[in-house]
Amino acid sequence: MDGLGEESGLNGSADRSQGEGHRVLRVSGVAAGTARVPTSKSIAQRALVAAALCHGRTRFGALPGGEDVAAAAGWAEQLGLVVARHGPASLTIQGCPPGPSRGLGGLSAEPWHVGESGTLARLLLGVAGLASWVGRTVTVEAAGSLLRRDPGPLLGALSQAGSTVTPLGGPWPVEVTAVGPPSEVLLDAPRSSQEVSSLLVALAAWPDQGALRVRGTIPSAPYVGLTRWTLERFGVQTEEHVLGDAERVFLVKGPLRAPEEPFLVEPDASAAAVALAAGCLSGGRVSVPGLGRDSAQGDVRILEHLRAFGCGAGFDDAGAWAEGPPIRGASLDLTGEPDLAPVLVPIAVAAARWGSASSELTGLGTLEGKESPRLSVLAGFCRSLGCAVEVGADRLAIGPSAKPAGGGTIQLEGHGDHRMVFAALLLGLVEPGVQIAGHHAVAKSWSRALTDLEELGLRFDETLHG
């Protein structure tokens, strides 16, 4: 895993233009052929944390690059758990199950650094409180935009379970003292599915059955299914019992045990969505091998959503594919997969610009609290391209405007957010005048994004602006 998350050229994470204006991209060309996309960072992060807590050694293959997965592997390495590196995308971890006088908290007194990964931050809060060395205090430190994101409901659940939780001057860093396994944990009004996943992983580390009671709607609920799928690959039994519209109980029976076969991470559905949409918007046909209809990733619904806009999309024996422009508007509920909004907004803009069609995306209430205020940024992108826009607390309506964007340059800022950069890149296939600033943010999730998209036939022209 040497160099994980480090790329040169257009994909580098550092701004090479300091002191000399800033560099912007224009995108052109036709995306066609077989896409090389990273494997799933959502699966990889969950599996790396589970491997650190499990009995036995877990061998990983096809780990993705990117800063979030690098942070998860770095945490395991900091604890002394990485026993072997076999290549850029392969490593072996010797697990350290929790116990009354041993566990992860006893391996290192250093703070746990999660970088800017919301998934890893929440997973490690649960580990620190419920699956570490009992009585040991650990500080979980974050960085960047994550410093503004308050994990309040998760901290409340840990406190209710008996862990001592102390925020140190703000949402982050957080000091957490571990307790033994509770028989039941209560999570009230979750703000993120990651809070549910965190507690499920922590309970799974223990041999006795634990229960997680969740009151309130779970945002982006398919990610909880992805967590349960990952835990089951580590031998954990999970059950979900729905008690009503606003309450459910998850039963978890561990312990975590290393899979006998190497853990191979499947292609990332979020990255695949970018490549597939690029094919539709540029006039090509793109396929993503290895991403099947039985994937546990909620974002695999990108194919269903593309079909709603009239694009061709489906699965064959090799994987997923998509082609053809959007020919109609669509009304889509993205409650389960709001991270697809940055991909589907450009599709909706194309439908408005090319076909005078209106679209509405709902279920977007979690977007404002991400790396950037994504709902507001996406609405601004649409206005810049001459679309009529209506924005609500969890919805975005996009339609044709009486004053469409004329020719000339339209600059879209990535706001340090990888998903906003991908949205801007796709909009560049709709409007040739688009320039994208801050494109280096793609390193967070897909460090080779521009190189991989160039191999499909897209062209990125980088120039100095200002």
Q: Are 241 and 248 in contact (CB under 8 A)?
A: yes
Q: Phi, psi (5° rounding) for residue 11?
A: -90, 0
Question: Would you state the pLDDT for residue 20?
Answer: 42
Task: Report CA dihedral (325, 328, 334, 338) to the nearest 10 degrees.
Answer: 40
Task: Tell me the DSSP string of 92-155.
Answer: EEE----BTTBSGGGT--SPEE-TT-HHHHHHHHHHHHHSSSTT-EEEEE--GGGGG---HHHH
Instruction: Kindly report the pTM of this predicted structure.
Output: 0.87
Question: Would you state the pLDDT for residue 265?
Answer: 95
Q: Which residues contact 7 (CB under 8 A, 6 or more apart)?
A: 13, 65, 443, 447, 448, 451
Q: Are strands 410-413 and 434-437 parallel, antiparallel or unpaired?
A: parallel
Lowest mean pLDDT among 44-48, 141-145, 431-435: 141-145
The amino acid present at 455, given as its one-letter code, is E
Question: Would you state the pLDDT for residue 134?
Answer: 87
pLDDT per residue as tens digits for the range 368-419: 988 899 999 999 999 999 999 999 999 999 999 866 655 678 999 999 999 9
Residue 386 corresponds to which tokens in the numbers above? 């001459």
Lowest mean pLDDT among 118-122, 131-135, 332-336, 453-457: 131-135
Distance CA(459)–CA(31), nearest Å, equals 9
Q: Is the pLDDT score of 6 beyond 50?
A: no
| CATH architecture of residue range(s) 9-38+267-465 | Alpha-beta prism (3.65)
Residue 209 corresponds to which tokens in the numbers above? 């059955």
Q: Which residues contact 15 (CB under 8 A, 6 or more apart)?
A: 22, 23, 440
* Coil/strand/helix, residue 381: helix
**Of 110, 97, 323, which Cα lies nearest the Cα of 205?**
97
Question: Would you state the pLDDT for residue 21?
Answer: 52
Identical topology for domains 9-38+267-465 and 41-255? yes
* Coil/strand/helix, residue 334: coil
| Mean pLDDT rounded to a whole number for the chain | 90
Question: Would you state the pLDDT for residue 105?
Answer: 61
The alpha carbon dihedral of 362, 366, 343, 296 has a sign of negative
pLDDT average, residue stretch 205-228: 95
Going by pLDDT thresholds of 50, 70 and 90, the confidence category of residue 244 is confident
Going by pLDDT thresholds of 50, 70 and 90, the confidence category of residue 8 is very low
pLDDT average, residue stretch 85-105: 80
Q: Is the pLDDT score of 245 beyond 90?
A: no
Q: Which of the pair, 11 or 401, is modelled with greater confidence?
A: 401
pLDDT average, residue stretch 250-261: 97
**Fold designation for 41-255:** UDP-n-acetylglucosamine1-carboxyvinyl-transferase; Chain (3.65.10)
Domain ranges of the chain: 9-38+267-465, 41-255
Q: Are strands 184-188 and 210-215 parallel, antiparallel or unpaired?
A: parallel
